[in-house]
Amino acid sequence: MHSKSAALRLHVESTLVGRMASPFRLTQNELPITVPAGIPLLDQVTGGLPRGGLTELYGPASSGKTSFLQSALATRTRTASAEVCALVDAQDSFDPACAQSAGVALKQLLWIRCRTLDNAFRSVDVLLNGGGFGMVALDLSDTPARLVRQIPLNVWFRLRRTIENTSTILLVLSRESNAKTCASLVLRLERETVAWSLRHSLRASGILHTPACLLDGWTTATEIIRSSSRRRKLHFLNQSTIPEDQDHVRFTLRSKEIHSHLPDQERVKDPG
Amino acid sequence: MAFAAIFVPNFIFQSIARSEPELRIQPVAIIEGSPPTYQVTAYNRLAQILGVNSGMTKASAEQFAGVQIRHRSSAQENIAHMALLDAAWSVSSRVEDAAPDTLLTDIDGLARLYGSEEEIARRLLSRVSELGMDANVAVSANVETARILARAVSGLTIVSPGQEWRFLETLPVAMLAPSPQLAEIFQRWGVTNCKSLASLPVLALSERAGQEGVRLRTLASGRGNRPLLIAQPADSFLEFFELDDAIDNLEPLSFLLGRLLQQLCARVSARALSVGRVQVDFALEEAFESTIVPSRESRGARPSPKTFSCTLQLPVASSDATLLLKLLRLRLQSRPPGAPVRKISMRAEPARSRAVQSGLFAPVSPDPQKLELTLARIAAVVGQSNLGSPQLLDTQRPDAFHMGKFSVAVSASPPLQEASRATQTAFRVFRPPLPAWVQVQRNVPVRVALQGTLGTVVHASGPWRTSGDWWEERSWQEDAWDLEIQFPVGSETPQALYRICYDLLLEKWWARGVYD
């Protein structure tokens, strides 16, 4: 029996000579390089955003997708790496003032304001083929889900192949999951409890400009739908410090605060 | 001392063939004058074989099958001459502009850079060839000898010091360019070549032919030398092309633009420079409709052609003709000339080439030249105004920003180090703001209708009054509410946290955006 299997192995190896080296050796792909997204709890569980891979973030409105995006942009543009990032805004929803207060260096950000889904994908295609960006974000959050579903899967495959073996992070925000297995990391976000301070004072006081209630923020629950780096770790190392059932992470988003350690916001005069 | 002379034979033809290389393999006759008395002033070898010669009328030249007729262009000759100068300056900084088709260069001291005299001469030849012309180069210790030999001998001629007379002795006296009177005198004397002229006694020659005759004798014996009159390098590069038939299609226009860009970039590169700015001017053809309506003012007066300009300002100087052509094509696709093009003028402003050493730990950033092309391609898709880096305006007005030009800073300022930062809620803006219908009870919104769907307010925060720019026409005053609105299950508008504003000036409710 052993001689038969050895003969068969020899026969296969001799047939594949020149076409495949060591056909019986299991090749292990290297783990992708990941970078932090700026949310410590999430980075600890997921390992961060993979370079050269597609990360998909989906969820309903007010689930925290844009907050995640701004945190990632701030981390890429403001920290020691100071990379150049691009945002393809399919419905022109980006708020520069909010982004700057969140720590995004606007000078390091290329903002592409689209009005149609076709323009958005064409812009992403040109950006990824041009190369050199640390992160390219495609924001489809306000695009109706039925339109995004019409994008064929091969488009997502092509985007993934374009950034393979590069150091660019492709981050896609949408209402539903569309990239499927093309994505290296898929996260589903859902808003849980909303924090309102002074809730008992729902009625406005007599003076209009005195707020009766404050929106403090909310807690977002994140479910890790797919993570190629984490699955590989669990499969091969079997010694992961991450609990195997920890597919859910909760993090809190706070409303805008005044950060005294940030420099004065740079503003320009209206050119008219 | 060593001098090199560059001579472009049949310069009139070569100046035109520089823009149309395909003419080199066709019989070509160049005509000059005014209609109907056009006469042939230059022709190439293939036309000469067919029987074309100088002084022939245009009609006679057209009788020969396959002969291409071109008008002589002084502008093309000027540009060819400038290109010739650029080729010479790329090797030596001491150049004399002797004639439109002749340059004299001092190549003394260039041995360390380029090698022997022959290697220097070959480099000059190849530089001129790169710019679209064929030339003769002669090297000699005597500048006048070099000039004469470049005109007389095709290809490359290297004269050893002291051997000038050997190269000159068999040349006809006409190569020395004597005046007609002197030429007649020499002919009567039977002096036909430089050897016989050089053997004439000086005193007798000066008595009969004057100082001019003595000068020519000195040239014939290879001893005429003089200092060069150094020409100053020009700092502008111009190419142009005039079409017989106007072009209204981008594809053939791109072909011509590419050719002009290649010539410009070759000239700029020859001077160790790059292109910082390109301006292209198109002379347009008048529309047909405007030419058939004669008016009292225009009768008898020829209408001047319209022009269309296109300027490329490069953030980083480049001498890549392919990149420049792609940028120009994208620019013309988004903003075409609007009429057929009859003439193209292209001017390049030179700039120092950028030399940047990439750092080992430098962050990822796009190549500036590639980035320019990427931005141009995206601008062709979404429009130039929808692309760039946002810059906040110095006002408290909501959503006030300006789209600035995006560029990669060569020397970026040190990034900020933030210790711990709580993740901040983000806001998504509705552009334009969505009109909203709001039902208010006891000064608090209780129901909101957005995009045709009615929802119930679960929680409300506000109002927050903001106002500003009272001294300007565009003043604003509004009360903002943060509302958690619940819409019916299955509706298009989801349940979310909205910012709804009441415009006190317009007395209308708007949805400014949603927290996400």
Q: What is the pLDDT of residues B324-343, one digit of tens each?
A: 999 999 999 888 888 899 89
Chain A residue numbers touching B481 (CB-CB < 8 A) = none
Instruction: Residue A96: name the closest of A83, A81, A82, A110 by CA.
Output: A110
DSSP string for residues in B59-97: HHHHTSTTPEEEE--HHHHHHHHHHHHHHHHTT-S-EEE
pLDDT digits (tens, 9 = 90+) for B79-99: 999 999 999 999 998 999 999
Given a cut of 90, whether residue B223 has pLDDT beyond it is no
In the structure encoding, which two tokens stand for residue A260, read together?
Answer: 């005294």
Q: What is the mean pLDDT of residues B23-33?
A: 92
Given a cut of 80, whether residue B258 has pLDDT beyond it is yes
b (16+ CB within 10 A) / e for B34-55? eeeebebbbbbebbeeeebeee
3-state secondary structure of A195: strand
Q: What is the mean pLDDT of residues A176-201?
A: 82
Shared domain for B7 and B137, answered yes or no, is yes
Pick from B391, B415, B482: CB nearest A82:
B415
Rounded to the nearest angstrom, the minimum Cα separation between B494 and chain A is 7
Return mean pLDDT, chain A. Answer: 79
B53 occurs within a structural domain: no
Q: What is the mean pLDDT of residues A105-121?
A: 93
Indicate the pLDDT class of residue B422, thresholds 50, 70 and 90. Answer: low
CB contact under 8 A, B424 and A102: yes
Shared domain for B477 and B385, answered yes or no, is no
- What is the reported pLDDT for B122? 94
Predicted model pTM: 0.74
List all residues 6 or more positions away from B229 whose beta carbon is below 8 Å from its beta carbon.
B96, B97
Rounded to the nearest angstrom, the minimum Cα separation between B261 and chain A is 23
Shared domain for B201 and B258, answered yes or no, is no
- Domain limits at A154? 29-189
Region of poorest pLDDT, from A8-22, A99-113, B24-38, B233-247: A8-22
- What is the reported pLDDT for B302? 53
Indicate the pLDDT class of residue A242, thresholds 50, 70 and 90. Answer: very low
Shared domain for B281 and B136, answered yes or no, is no
Contact of A229 with chain B, judged by CB distance below 8 Å, is answered with no
Indicate the pLDDT class of residue B155, thresholds 50, 70 and 90. Answer: very high
- What is the reported pLDDT for B25? 92
Q: How many residues does chain B have?
A: 516
> For the domain that residue B255 is a member of, what is the CATH number?
3.30.1490.100
Q: What is the mean pLDDT of residues B267-286?
A: 89
DSSP string for residues in A13-38: HHHTTTT-S-TTSPP-PPPPPEE--S
Q: What is the mean pLDDT of residues A122-149?
A: 93
The type of residue at A224 is I
Contact B44, B27 (CB under 8 A): yes
What is the rounded CA–CA span in Å between residue B380 and residue B364? 25
> For the domain that residue A71 is a member of, what is the CATH number?
3.40.50.300
Q: What is the mean pLDDT of residues B149-161?
A: 92
Given a cut of 50, whether residue A35 has pLDDT beyond it is yes
CB contact under 8 A, A112 and B378: yes
Contact of A88 with chain B, judged by CB distance below 8 Å, is answered with no
Given a cut of 90, whether residue B1 has pLDDT beyond it is no
Region of poorest pLDDT, from B86-100, B190-204, B325-339, B352-366: B352-366
In the structure encoding, which two tokens stand for residue A213, read together?
Answer: 């209630």
CB contact under 8 A, A114 and B386: yes
CB contact under 8 A, B381 and A123: yes
- What is the reported pLDDT for A209? 42
Rounded to the nearest angstrom, the minimum Cα separation between A65 and chain B is 6
CB contact under 8 A, B374 and A214: no
Chain A residue numbers touching B440 (CB-CB < 8 A) = none
- What is the reported pLDDT for A257? 47
Q: What is the mean pLDDT of residues B301-307?
A: 62
Shared domain for B347 and B256, answered yes or no, is yes
- Beta partners for B349? B277
A138 occurs within a structural domain: yes
What is the rounded CA–CA span in Å between residue B46 and residue B39? 18
CB contact under 8 A, A270 and B403: no
Continuous H helices in B90-239: 111-114, 117-130, 143-152, 164-168, 180-189, 194-198, 202-220
- Give the full edge-to-edge strand order of the sheet including B95-99: B95-99, B102-106, B3-7, B136-140, B156-158
Pick from B429, B462, B464: CB nearest A93:
B429
Given a cut of 80, whether residue B250 has pLDDT beyond it is yes
Shared domain for B214 and B277, answered yes or no, is no
What is the rounded CA–CA span in Å between residue A113 and residue A142? 13
List all residues 6 or more positions away from B344 whose beta carbon is below 8 Å from its beta carbon.
B240, B241, B242, B243, B253, B256, B257, B260, B280, B281, B282, B283
B296 occurs within a structural domain: no
A50 occurs within a structural domain: yes
> For the domain that residue B85 is a member of, what is the CATH number?
3.30.70.270
Region of poorest pLDDT, from A52-66, B59-73, B296-310: B296-310
Chain B residue numbers touching A122 (CB-CB < 8 A) = 381
Shared domain for B260 and B346, answered yes or no, is yes
* Chain center to CA of B388: 26
b (16+ CB within 10 A) / e for B171-181? bebebbebeee
- What is the reported pLDDT for A270? 66
What is the rounded CA–CA span in Å between residue A224 and residue A172? 15
Pick from B370, B423, B464: CB nearest A130:
B370
What is the rounded CA–CA span in Å between residue B68 and residue B457? 83
3-state secondary structure of B328: helix
- What is the reported pLDDT for A232? 45
Q: What is the mean pLDDT of residues B13-37?
A: 90
- What is the reported pLDDT for B305? 57
CB contact under 8 A, A83 and B391: no
Pick from A66, A74, A253: CB nearest B428:
A66
CB contact under 8 A, A271 and B402: yes
Indicate the pLDDT class of residue B385, thresholds 50, 70 and 90. Answer: very high
Q: What is the mean pLDDT of residues A66-73?
A: 93
Instruction: Residue B500: name the closest of B453, B451, B450 by CA.
Output: B450
B162 occurs within a structural domain: yes
Q: What residues 101-140 of chain A have any CB closer than 8 A to a CB of chain B?
A: 101-103, 105-107, 109-115, 119, 122-123, 126-127, 129-134
Q: How many CA atoms lie within 13 A of A9 on its CB side?
A: 10
Given a cut of 50, whether residue A261 has pLDDT beyond it is no
Given a cut of 70, whether residue B298 has pLDDT beyond it is no
Residue of A nearest to B482 (CA): A215
The type of residue at A85 is C
pLDDT digits (tens, 9 = 90+) for B402-415: 999 998 864 454 45
Return mean pLDDT, chain B. Answer: 87
A99 occurs within a structural domain: yes
A196 occurs within a structural domain: no
When scoring A78, A110, A253, A255 by the number of chain B Cβ atoms within 10 A, the one with the most, hence best to mutate, is: A110
A256 occurs within a structural domain: no
Q: What is the mean pLDDT of residues A49-64?
A: 92
Pick from A81, A212, A268: CB nearest B394:
A268
Contact B119, B110 (CB under 8 A): no
Shared domain for B130 and B270, answered yes or no, is no
Residue of B nearest to A39 (CA): B423
Q: What is the mean pLDDT of residues A189-205?
A: 67
Q: CA-based diameter of chain A, in Å?
A: 94
- What is the reported pLDDT for B355? 66
Query: What's the number of domains chain B is made of?
Result: 3
What is the rounded CA–CA span in Å between residue B133 and residue B82? 12
Q: How many CA atoms lie within 13 A of B171 on its CB side?
A: 25
Pick from B388, B417, B496: CB nearest A62:
B496
Q: How many residues does chain A have?
A: 272
- What is the reported pLDDT for B421? 52
When scoring B417, B418, B420, B424 by the number of chain A Cβ atoms within 10 A, the one with the most, hence best to mutate, is: B424
Contact of A174 with chain B, judged by CB distance below 8 Å, is answered with no
- Domain limits at B325? 237-287+306-353+367-394
The type of residue at A45 is V
Pick from A62, A78, A119: CB nearest B415:
A78
Shared domain for B102 and B158, answered yes or no, is yes
Q: What percent of chain B has pLDDT over 90?
A: 45
Q: What is the mean pLDDT of residues B61-69?
A: 89
Residue with tokens 């984490």, as numbered in its chain: A230
Looking at per-residue pLDDT, the higher value among A204 and B57 belongs to B57
Given a cut of 70, whether residue A245 has pLDDT beyond it is no
What is the rounded CA–CA span in Å between residue B436 and residue B514? 13
B41 occurs within a structural domain: no
Query: What's the number of domains chain A is made of?
Result: 1
Contact A251, A219 (CB under 8 A): yes
Shared domain for B145 and B271, answered yes or no, is no
B294 occurs within a structural domain: no
The type of residue at A198 is L
Given a cut of 80, whether residue B182 has pLDDT beyond it is yes
Rounded to the nearest angstrom, the minimum Cα separation between B402 and chain A is 7
Pick from A61, A203, A253: CB nearest B442:
A203
B412 occurs within a structural domain: no
Given a cut of 90, whether residue A196 has pLDDT beyond it is no
Indicate the pLDDT class of residue A25, thresholds 50, 70 and 90. Answer: low
When scoring A39, A58, A62, A73 by the number of chain B Cβ atoms within 10 A, the one with the most, hence best to mutate, is: A62
Residue of B nearest to A41 (CA): B423
Shared domain for B107 and B208, answered yes or no, is yes
B255 occurs within a structural domain: yes
Pick from A83, A133, A254: CB nearest B424:
A254
Contact of A217 with chain B, judged by CB distance below 8 Å, is answered with yes
Triad A80, A86, A87: Cα angle to 5°: 125
Indicate the pLDDT class of residue A141, thresholds 50, 70 and 90. Answer: very high
Shared domain for B341 and B371, answered yes or no, is yes
DSSP string for residues in B261-301: HHHHHHHHHHTT-EEEEEEEEEEEPPPHHHHSS--TTTTTS
Residue with tokens 């149609």, as numbered in its chain: A116
